């Protein structure tokens, strides 16, 4: 069976024999990521997505869905962009592969120059990776070596926030704040410490009462407290997402990042803005730190950089951090064979060209309030506790009791999210994420090209499925 023979035209189902054969092969050989294999082992089959066009995807039965998560916070410009495919084809023909290990190639050079141009402050040096977790891993290693080179060799620890996800390599996992994703791999890289996140809806449970602005100061001050607990001369970096994904899109309260920047400067701790999700237009700017008004020392990014047409990640570093690496025999002994791949870099450049030509950033800024308003209309449903986020990145927190904010216990959450919501939303034509790594949330991060008509469509599907979910309680 070849790909040409299995992929049908838009909206047309795979023939039954092909579908059955693919399901069997998946059952026999495919190991899904972050998923229970038991569904496949039991022979339930797996949804097979065969095609994408704009903000829609199609499954093997020819059924059409709104891609409400841009694949996985990736497909900024939507599916089926011929120019991106063409950029990849052209580059593969010209130079399919060469590493960045002591050599360079034009597309990586051009892309580094372009990213340095977009990045704020003196973040002018770009180190490519193949994805987000590698960028995070690279940033921690860089922070450690930077301090060894600058006479503070004990600085190696990192601080991050509860429930935050920063990737799966054992360093990045030590930065991740989700115990259930870590315990089976312990012991991890030592040196990861957690502080509270910025979920204002749950602030009281963290022991805080007061205004949003005060909460921002309180949450930032927890970082200072952790630095002091651990000893400033042992802490290398703070890793924060501009808007925290895991737990359901926590925006920073006003003043939060200004205070964090102040703290990091005071104790000579690097501020890493983990923008693996938030960069490249998701929050309405190329880098979300620009939208939120702070300048980090390092940005980690991936996902939307190529709109997913080829894998790529990038760590962007300030001149100050780069400085000690410029001299003599010093090197950052770190890298990845496929990092800055010529094809991926060519796709990224074309992706950024299209973003500029189509005014994608302005489009997100203009339409984000309309998206928020559409989702906030759902607050009339008893099961919807909170709606939060920024740009084209929103979370809807589900609650058992709206008055008391009582959440679901593990069994209820299992029944609600896995037993009902994920499948019901998908069946109703909306691919998005129902997540309970923190309190149960539905997350939306659609392609950046959609507008009010699609927001209404998304709201209608959510309304119908969440109403049904509420009736099940």
- The answer to whether 304 contacts ligand PLP (rule: CB under 6 A) is no
Tokens representing 7? 């992929």
Instruction: Select 167 or 399, whichever has its Cβ closest to ligand PLP.
Output: 167
Instruction: Select 166 or 261, whichever has its Cβ closest to ligand PLP.
Output: 166
**130-166 b/e (C-beta count within 10 Å ≥ 16 → b):** bbbbbbbbbbbebbbbbbebeeeeebbbbbbbbbbbb
Instruction: Select 167 or 378, whichever has its Cβ closest to ligand PLP.
Output: 167
Instruction: Select 132 or 440, whichever has its Cβ closest to ligand PLP.
Output: 132
Angle at CA of residue 422, ends 421 and 425, nearest 5°: 75
Q: Closest separation between CB of residue 377 and ligand PLP, Å?
A: 28
Residue 370 has phi, psi (to 5 degrees) of -70, -35
Q: Closest separation between CB of residue 206 and ligand PLP, Å?
A: 21
- How many residues touch ligand PLP under the rule CB under 6 A: the total is 13
Contact track, ligand PLP, 337-376, x by CB under 6 A: ----------------------------------------
Instruction: Select 314 or 378, whichever has its Cβ closest to ligand PLP.
Output: 314
Contacts with 212 (C-beta within 8 Å, 6 or more apart), sequence order:
200, 253, 254
- The answer to whether 166 contacts ligand PLP (rule: CB under 6 A) is yes
Contact track, ligand PLP, 83-122, x by CB under 6 A: ----------------------------------------
Pairing of strands 56-59, 49-53: antiparallel
With CB under 6 A as the contact rule, the residue among 68, 120, 167, 177 that binds ligand PLP is: 167
Q: Closest separation between CB of residue 367 and ligand PLP, Å?
A: 23
Nearest to 273 by CA among 313, 316, 216: 316
Question: Measuring CA to CA, how many Å separate 196 from each of 93, 203, 240, 279, 437?
Answer: 49, 9, 11, 23, 15
Which window, 163-171, 250-258, 282-290, 355-363, contacts ligand PLP (CB under 6 A)?
A: 163-171
- The answer to whether 165 contacts ligand PLP (rule: CB under 6 A) is yes
Instruction: Select 112 or 173, whichever has its Cβ closest to ligand PLP.
Output: 173
Nearest to 442 by CA among 382, 380, 399: 399
Tokens representing 171? 């360093």
Tokens representing 135? 């960028």
Contact track, ligand PLP, 124-143, x by CB under 6 A: -------xxx--x-------
- The answer to whether 437 contacts ligand PLP (rule: CB under 6 A) is no
With CB under 6 A as the contact rule, the residue among 302, 312, 354, 364 that binds ligand PLP is: 302
| Burial environment of residue 106 by CB neighbours within 10 A (0 to 12, 13 to 18, 19 or more) | middle
CB atoms closer than 10 angstroms to residue 13: 15
- The answer to whether 161 contacts ligand PLP (rule: CB under 6 A) is no
Q: Closest separation between CB of residue 167 and ligand PLP, Å?
A: 3
Tokens representing 146? 């930077």
Q: Closest separation between CB of residue 437 and ligand PLP, Å?
A: 11
Q: Closest separation between CB of residue 68 and ligand PLP, Å?
A: 16
Q: Closest separation between CB of residue 33 and ligand PLP, Å?
A: 9
Which window, 38-46, 160-168, 177-185, 325-333, contacts ligand PLP (CB under 6 A)?
A: 160-168
Q: What is the DSSP string of 47-108?
A: --EEEEEBTEEEETT--EEEETTHHHHT-TT-B--HHHHHHHHHHHHH------SS---HHH
Pairing of strands 393-398, 298-301: unpaired
With CB under 6 A as the contact rule, the residue among 245, 318, 351, 367 that binds ligand PLP is: 245
Contact track, ligand PLP, 254-283, x by CB under 6 A: --------------------x-xx------
Nearest to 286 by CA among 350, 242, 366, 352: 352
CA distance 102 to 335: 11
Instruction: Select 156 or 166, whichever has its Cβ closest to ligand PLP.
Output: 166
Q: Closest separation between CB of residue 274 and ligand PLP, Å?
A: 4
Tokens representing 142? 């860089």
**82-91 b/e (C-beta count within 10 Å ≥ 16 → b):** eebeebbeeb
Instruction: Select 107 or 443, whichever has its Cβ closest to ligand PLP.
Output: 443
Residues that bind ligand PLP (CB under 6 A): 131-133, 136, 165-167, 241, 245, 274, 276-277, 302
């Amino acid at each position: 069976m070849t790909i040409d023979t299995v992929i049908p035209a838009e909206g047309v189902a795979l023939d039954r024999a092909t579908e059955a054969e693919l399901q069997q092969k998946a059952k026999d050989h495919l190991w899904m990521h972050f998923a229970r294999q038991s569904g496949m082992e039991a022979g339930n089959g797996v949804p097979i997505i065969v095609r994408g066009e704009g903000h829609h995807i199609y499954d093997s039965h020819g059924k059409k869905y709104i891609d409400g998560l841009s694949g996985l916070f990736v497909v900024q410009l939507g599916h089926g962009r011929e120019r991106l495919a063409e950029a990849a084809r052209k580059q593969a023909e010209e130079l399919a592969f060469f590493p960045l290990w002591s050599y360079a190639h034009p597309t990586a050079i051009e892309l580094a120059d372009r990213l340095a141009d977009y990045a704020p402050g003196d973040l002018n040096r770009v180190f490519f990776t193949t994805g987000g977790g590698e960028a995070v891993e690279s940033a921690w290693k860089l922070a450690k070596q930077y301090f060894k080179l600058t006479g503070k060799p004990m600085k190696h620890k990192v601080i991050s926030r509860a429930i935050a996800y920063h990737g799966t390599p054992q360093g990045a996992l030590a930065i991740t704040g989700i115990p259930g994703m870590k315990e089976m791999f312990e012991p991890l890289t030592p040196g990861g410490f957690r502080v509270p996140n910025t979920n204002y809806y749950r602030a009281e449970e963290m022991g805080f009462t007061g205004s949003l602005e005060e909460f921002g100061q309180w949450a930032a001050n927890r970082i200072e407290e952790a630095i002091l607990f651990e000893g400033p001369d042992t802490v290398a970096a703070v890793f924060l997402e501009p808007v925290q994904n895991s737990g359901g899109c926590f925006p920073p309260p006003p003043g939060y990042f200004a205070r964090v920047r102040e703290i990091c400067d005071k104790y000579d701790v690097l501020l890493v803005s983990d923008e693996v999700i938030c960069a490249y237009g998701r929050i309405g700017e190329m880098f979300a730190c620009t939208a939120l008004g702070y300048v980090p020392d390092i940005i980690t990014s991936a996902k939307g950089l190529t709109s997913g047409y080829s894998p790529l990640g990038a760590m962007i570093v300030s001149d100050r951090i780069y400085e000690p690496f410029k001299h003599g025999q010093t090197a950052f002994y770190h890298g990845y064979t496929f990092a800055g791949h010529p094809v991926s870099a060519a796709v990224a450049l074309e992706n950024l060209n299209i973003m500029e030509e189509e005014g994608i950033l302005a489009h997100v800024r203009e339409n984000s309030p309309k998206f928020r308003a559409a989702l906030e209309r759902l607050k009339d449903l008893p099961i919807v506790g909170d709606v939060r986020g920024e740009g084209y990145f929103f979370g809807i927190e589900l609650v058992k009791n709206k008055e008391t904010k009582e959440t679901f216990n593990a069994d209820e959450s299992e029944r609600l999210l896995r037993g009902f919501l994920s499948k019901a939303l998908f069946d109703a034509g909306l691919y998005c994420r129902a997540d309970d790594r923190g309190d149960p949330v539905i997350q939306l991060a659609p392609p950046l090209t959609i507008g009010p008509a699609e927001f209404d469509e998304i709201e209608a599907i959510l309304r119908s499925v969440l109403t049904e979910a509420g009736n099940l309680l």
